[in-house]
Amino acid sequence: MKNNSNQWRVFKRLMSYLKSYKWLTALALGLLLLTTIVKSLIPLVASYFIDHFLTQMNQTAMLILVGYYLMYVLQTIIQYLGNLFFARVSYSIVRDIRRDAFANMEKLGMSYFDKTPAGSIVSRITNDTEAISEMFSGILSSFISAIFIFTVTLLTMLRLNAGLTGWIALFLPFIFILVNIYRKKSVQVIAKTRSLLSDINAKLAESIEGIRIVQAFRQEERLKNEFEIINQEHYQYANRSMALDSLFLRPAMSLLKLLAYAILMAYFGFRGMKLGISAGLMYAFIQYVNRLFDPLIEVTQNFSTLQTSMVSAGRVFDLIDELTYEPSQGNSSAKVQEGTIEFRDVSFSYDGKKQILDKISFKVKKGETIAFVGATGSGKSSIINVLMRFYEFQSGQVLLDGRDIRQYAQDELRQNIGLVLQDPFLYHGTIASNIRMYQKLSDEEVQAAAEFVDADQFIQKLPEKYQTPVSERGSSFSTGQRQLLAFARTIATQPKILILDEATANIDSETEQIVQNSLAKMRQGRTTIAIAHRLSTIQDANCIYVLDKGKIIESGCHEDLLAKQGTYYKMYQLQAGMMEN
């Protein structure tokens, strides 16, 4: 009952998307009904011709024959137009559903993406919405057409011969029982099949994104085996689904149809002469039995696709309804003025169990630079995640210009915080579009940002300069060049706060000095928070905080920390020794 209830809710929600296209849908339905009427008239015309003109051809008979074949042509044209309009409605609805799914996905917080594979999300917005498209473009019109044909055919048969129609109607309960049994048995199999297809996409996306690591650590065989396990399970469930289709669809329905023919022939054989049933009526009934069973067989055949569409729609709606949003922000008109940041006893946990930040407190004023150092997992990046409002902290206060950071509108906050990551991400497009990031910046402003961070030097050497194509992730550029472009993108927004998350960790020695000079210019007059692995890059920071297990264990300028000969001193000595070697 739960599955039935869920499917009904999904179906009603899908139908709600039709409201935006009600006139186009009404036109498509009208054409389907007209097609059904024409189909129903064709056997009547044939019956009349057989009974009255089969043995005597005259002008009237020729006109009836011409009209008979013209009705087939008319049926084909009307059916084509109806299917065309249904397809237009279908693609419009799928576009709307994809838009809603993508729009909600962009509002989701990092915690959702931490637990959901990227391939699974891609599968929902592509494969699953495509399955919905199949339902609207083919299955829905097929179901509605079947209802029209079944109703009109049954009424026509009743008018022709109610007694014979009663015998044929005895088969209808068996048809509905078969459909119901198939629906109950197939829904779980189809749901599992779609879920495994999503797992295949997730494993595939993971393997492609990490192919360098896979090959470097010789993990090809392991990943191939893991992929094959999922692939094999999907194969098994797909076979189960096909077995159900083969048993409950055409074979079972065709058997019922043959039994109906047997009754029809027996009725005409035993009672035809006594009741004076004509050959034309017999022909008409044979055609109507076809028209009565064929739509039901087609509907039953399409039921697996409908089930797949319903399961897929449920998965897409789960994404649309997902509420794991980014931490909420206020709607005040407050503006970031100075960019002064203060953490007061801030505690944070990703899962609500393990404490990642434990009562962290620090303050950085406009124009100052502070840095965080520490071992992996000490909480450095978590401070950035909290400040950027990617995650909600559990206790304490985060103040921006003396105001609770949650009071600022999200746009105001993000516009005034420039984030530069260790691995700069470049989008498919051009150098200009990557710097502009679709903001309203002129070409002059884009070039000015690039000149400011010294990226203009290598850009001008490129054949197409700022219109040079950028491949996915900017793989055609060196790490240093990608980082300079990321700097230009950040500086173009003129942020008051600058966050550098291991921004120089992967820079080659050839471009390190250029990058360092660019960073020095970017930091001037801005509040800067740097996370650094190489201590040589943060020696001029106003204050350096040493983290360990989510707590600040040391703080001070570079010279003071060395003088204490504590954790920072050991880290510095270790790095200095490694550089000498």
* CA separation for the pair 41, 48 (Å, rounded): 11
**What does the buried/exposed string (b/e) look like for 36-57 if buried means 16 or more CB atoms within 10 Å of the residue's CB?**
bebbbbbbbebbebbeebeeee
Average pLDDT of the residues in 418-438: 79
Token pair recorded at residue 385: 């995640």
Q: Which residue has the higher pLDDT, 168 or 434?
A: 434
Q: What is the mean pLDDT of residues 18-26?
A: 84
Answer with the residue of higher pLDDT: 360 or 296: 360
Helix/strand/coil (H/E/C) assignment for every residue in 455-470: CHHHHCCCCCHHHCEE
pLDDT in tens, 158-183: 777 777 777 777 777 777 777 777 76
Q: What is the pLDDT of residues 363-380, one digit of tens each?
A: 988 888 888 888 878 888
Lowest mean pLDDT among 104-108, 239-243, 265-269, 345-349: 265-269
- HSE-CB at 444 with a 13 A cutoff on CA atoms is 0
pTM, full prediction: 0.65
State the Cα–Cα distance between residues 230 and 198, nearest whole angstrom.
10
Is pLDDT of 126 > 70? yes
Q: With 60 as the cut, is the pLDDT of residue 464 above it?
A: yes
Q: Quote the CA–CA distance of 204 and 425 in Å, as a whole number.
A: 21
Between 220-248 and 172-209, two packed helices, what is the crossing angle to 10 degrees? 170
Which residues does residue 497 pair with via DSSP β-bridges, in sequence order? Answer: 417, 527
Q: Does 339 score more than 70 pLDDT?
A: yes
Q: Percent of the chain having pLDDT more than 70?
A: 83
Q: What is the pLDDT of residue 316?
A: 86
CB 420 within 8 A of CB 501: yes
Closest CA to 431 of 404, 413, 458, 411: 458
Asked whether residue 3 carries a pLDDT value surpassing 60, the answer given is: no
pLDDT of residue 276 exceeding 70, the answer is: no
Question: Dihedrals φ, ψ of 193, to 5°?
Answer: -60, -45
Token duo for residue 409: 């509108």
Radius of gyration of the chain (CA): 35
- At residue 581, the pLDDT reads 46
Mean pLDDT of 480-503: 81
Average pLDDT, integer, range 221-227: 78
For the stretch 35-51, pLDDT in tens is 877 877 777 777 767 76
Question: Distance between CA 478 and CA 483 in Å, rounded?
Answer: 9
Cβ atoms of residues 160 and 316 within 8 Å: no
Question: What local confidence, expressed as pLDDT, does residue 511 receive?
Answer: 63
Whether the pLDDT of residue 266 is over 80: the answer is: no
Predicted local confidence at residue 542, as pLDDT: 86
What is the arrangement of strands in the sheet containing 551-556, beginning at the earlier edge strand? Answer: 417-420, 497-501, 527-531, 369-374, 543-548, 551-556
Q: For residues 561 and 555, what is the distance between their CA atoms, to the nearest angstrom?
A: 7
- C-alpha 97/C-alpha 105 separation (Å) is 12
> Is the CB of residue 126 less than 8 Å from the CB of residue 344?
no
pLDDT of 97 > 80? The answer is yes
Q: Average model confidence (pLDDT) for the chain?
A: 78
The answer to whether the beta carbons of residues 529 and 339 sit under 8 Å apart is no
Is residue 462's pLDDT more than 70? Answer: yes
Q: In angstroms, rounded to a whole number, what is the distance separating the alpha carbons of residues 325 and 355?
A: 21
Phi, psi of 469 (to 5 degrees): -65, 145
- pLDDT at position 215 is 64
**Tokens 């017999």, located at residue:** 282
pLDDT digits (tens, 9 = 90+) for 285-337: 777 777 777 776 677 667 667 777 787 888 888 888 888 877 777 777 788 88
What pLDDT is stored for residue 414 in this prediction? 82
> Using an 8 Å Cβ cutoff, are 23 and 88 in contact?
no
Closest CA to 371 of 519, 484, 512: 519
Residue 519, pLDDT > 60, answer yes
Q: Are 522 and 455 contacting, i.e. CB atoms less than 8 angstroms apart? A: no
- Tell me the residue type at 473: R
Rounded to a whole number of angstroms, the distance between the first and last alpha carbons of the chain is: 71
d(CA 464, CA 485): 16
* Mean pLDDT calculated for residue range 206-224: 68
**Predicted local distance difference test score (pLDDT) of residue 1:** 44
Domains, the chain, ranges and CATH?
18-191+246-321 (1.20.1560.10), 341-580 (3.40.50.300)
Q: Are 329 and 413 in contact (CB under 8 A)?
A: yes
Find which of 129-143, 200-214, 238-252 is predicted with most confidence, using mean pLDDT: 129-143
